[in-house]
Chain A
Amino acid sequence: MRPLTEEETKTLFEKLAKYIGSNIKHLIDRSDETYCFRLHKDRVYYVSESIMRKAVSVGRDQLGSLGVCFGKMTKTGKFRLHITALDYLAQYAKHKMWVKPNGEMPFLYGNHVVKAHLGRVTEDTPEHQGVIVLNMSDVPLGFGVTARSTSDSRKLQPTDIVAFHQADIGEYLREEDTLF
């Protein structure tokens, strides 16, 4: 476990900014407790300082996980968000997309969101913007990237993709072994 380098912090924030923009500062600057980002076995964890201090005494091999896993650093130096970060992303998301009840299961199985399943979407969402996918009762299901802007998606066919799947809560079952 170690703090992120400046380069790593930058790549992490660039990815997070696609979903929550400048709201990242609410993750760092919290009133309740000091939180920090830590890297352990290529995974980035968002963890409170008190827990991090306790985890310091655990050996590198023995330490499985701590705090909330936000994602992992790939070997090419990119950052990949994991579904475990959804709680924080949904809380501060700038753009959201609601899917109809008949579209929930297809999305949870890892498919893209098609026009027919689109319930509603935040106004003026640009193209290729990170969005949080929720069901109609506002439960976050995962996140993705918009294929079209809000205005463009009106003209689409029902089978056309409106948002590309990135992560969904079905991964808690499908990728239990590698997720945390």
Chain B
Amino acid sequence: MDVSSALEAHQNKFKSIQVEKLVPVEFDLNLLAAFDSNAIDAQKLSSKKEEYLKGLNRDNAQLLFNEIFKLPVESTDAGLLAKLPSQTYILPREKPLPKEKPMTRWEKFAKTKGIQKHKKERMVFDEATGKYTPTWGYAGGKKDTTKDWLLEVPSNVDPMEDQYAKKREEKKERVDKNKKRQKRNEEEASATNKGMDPRQVKKKQLQEAIAVTKQSTASYGRFDKKIEGEQKMKGMKRQFAPNITDGKVEKQATLDILNKVVGKNGEVLNVTKAVRQHKKARK
């Protein structure tokens, strides 16, 4: 039995799986993507657009499937699964690059002085105890002298002074000072991020605060003693339209307002009247 003709007829029903391209198509099989860099035929695109694009898509999809079927295959319970290679195409970054943080005061100072930052070891050997202790954080750092059971009283101070209280106070001052500097750094950073001069921002804030305090008396600052050379506070100035303008413009503006007002409550449906008219009509 010769089946070659039947086979040929069957094959002719389908398009060839062999696709030829001038420039080979690039693939990223991990993303199941193909990148065709061949030039588009402008003439065909304008004359038979749909047909041409469909054909182009089919060819490229065919090439992609050809590549997928070349991959090594694993047989699992769910069926045959192809093993995808790792991704080669690099996706562009979604978000813009983060802005460079403005330098803190210390960083600026360190830069001008050429002070280098030394990396500290996380654990240091404490010779007194013979153990490794953390350089900072929990159970680390300089030992808290406020918790010592004995403190030496220096010879040049008042012997009755509480050395523990003194140490506690000093520590609190240091913490507060650092917090203040931290806050200042944050304010300056936010100002520079907005493209403003931090000094000018601070000045404006102060002036606003002064304006508020001057008004914050029972008489809204009217009877307060004035400092010599004090500038008069500028208040809000009301702005009105000029008296004489183009009459047509003013008329139109008034009519616009009228339309808003009358649309709301001028021409309301008189229900009783409507009901009466309806009844009359039915009779």
Enumerate chain A interface residues (CB-CB to B < 8 A): 1-3, 5-6, 9-10, 13-14, 17, 21-22, 24-25, 28-29, 34, 36-38, 49, 52-53, 56, 123-124, 126, 149, 151
Nearest Cβ on chain A to B155's Cβ, whole angstroms: 76
A21 touching B255 in the complex, CB below 8 Å, given contacts A5-B240, A53-B244, A124-B273:
no
Instruction: Compute how far the CA of A115 lies from the CA of B190 in the bound complex, rounded to whole angstroms.
Output: 73
Chain A residues near B250: list those with CB within 8 A: 3, 36
Instruction: Compute how far the CA of A14 lies from the CA of B265 in the bound complex, rounded to whole angstroms.
Output: 8
Whether B273 contacts A22 by the Cβ 8 Å rule is no
Which secondary structure characterizes the binding site on chain B?
Answer: helix
Whether B241 contacts A25 by the Cβ 8 Å rule is no
A-contact 0/1 string along B244-267, CB 8 Å cutoff: 110100110011011011100111
Instruction: Compute how far the CA of A38 lies from the CA of B245 in the bound complex, rounded to whole angstroms.
Output: 13
Instruction: Compute how far the CA of A36 lies from the CA of B258 in the bound complex, rounded to whole angstroms.
Output: 13
Pick the residue among B241, B251, B258, B276 that contacts A24 (CB under 8 A). B258
26 A-B pairs with C-beta separation under 8 A: A2-B241, A3-B241, A3-B242, A3-B243, A9-B254, A10-B257, A13-B257, A13-B262, A17-B265, A17-B266, A22-B266, A22-B267, A25-B262, A28-B251, A28-B255, A28-B258, A29-B255, A36-B250, A36-B251, A38-B243, A49-B247, A53-B244, A56-B244, A123-B273, A126-B270, A149-B272
A-contact 0/1 string along B46-81, CB 8 Å cutoff: 000000000000000000000000000000000000
Residue of B nearest to A36 (CB): B250
Chain A residues near B261: list those with CB within 8 A: 10, 13-14, 17
Instruction: Compute how far the CA of A26 lies from the CA of B262 in the bound complex, rounded to whole angstroms.
Output: 13
A2 touching B266 in the complex, CB below 8 Å, given contacts A34-B247, A36-B247, A49-B247:
no
Chain B residues near A36: list those with CB within 8 A: 247, 250-251, 254
Chain B residues near A1: list those with CB within 8 A: 243
Whether B273 contacts A17 by the Cβ 8 Å rule is no
Residue of A nearest to B254 (CB): A28
Chain B residues near A149: list those with CB within 8 A: 272
Interface centre among B241, B266, B270, B273 (most CB of A within 10 A): B266
Whether A34 contacts B243 by the Cβ 8 Å rule is no
Chain B residues near A52: list those with CB within 8 A: 243-244
A-contact 0/1 string along B1-29, CB 8 Å cutoff: 00000000000000000000000000000
The range of chain B's interface size is: 20 to 34
Residue of A nearest to B272 (CB): A124
Instruction: Compute how far the CA of A5 lies from the CA of B242 in the bound complex, rounded to whole angstroms.
Output: 11
Whether B251 contacts A34 by the Cβ 8 Å rule is yes
Instruction: Compute how far the CA of A14 lies from the CA of B257 in the bound complex, rounded to whole angstroms.
Output: 10
A-contact 0/1 string along B68-100, CB 8 Å cutoff: 000000000000000000000000000000000
Nearest Cβ on chain A to B54's Cβ, whole angstroms: 60
Chain A residues near B266: list those with CB within 8 A: 17, 21-22, 24
Instruction: Compute how far the CA of A32 lies from the CA of B273 in the bound complex, rounded to whole angstroms.
Output: 35
Chain A residues near B254: list those with CB within 8 A: 9, 28, 36-37
Instruction: Compute how far the CA of A140 lies from the CA of B217 in the bound complex, rounded to whole angstroms.
Output: 53
Whether B262 contacts A17 by the Cβ 8 Å rule is yes
Chain A residues near B240: list those with CB within 8 A: 2-3, 5
Nearest Cβ on chain B to A144's Cβ, whole angstroms: 18
Whether A22 contacts B247 by the Cβ 8 Å rule is no
Nearest Cβ on chain A to B6's Cβ, whole angstroms: 87
Instruction: Compute how far the CA of A8 lies from the CA of B273 in the bound complex, rounded to whole angstroms.
Output: 33
Chain A residues near B276: list those with CB within 8 A: 124
Nearest Cβ on chain B to A49's Cβ, whole angstroms: 5
Nearest Cβ on chain A to B280's Cβ, whole angstroms: 12
Residues 83-123 of B at the A interface (beta carbon under 8 Å): none
Whether A21 contacts B262 by the Cβ 8 Å rule is yes
Pick the residue among A38, A49, A56, A126 that contacts B272 (CB under 8 A). A126
Instruction: Compute how far the CA of A46 lies from the CA of B251 in the bound complex, rounded to whole angstroms.
Output: 13
Residue of B nearest to A56 (CB): B243
Residues 155-176 of B at the A interface (beta carbon under 8 Å): none
Chain A residues near B262: list those with CB within 8 A: 13, 17, 21-22, 24-25
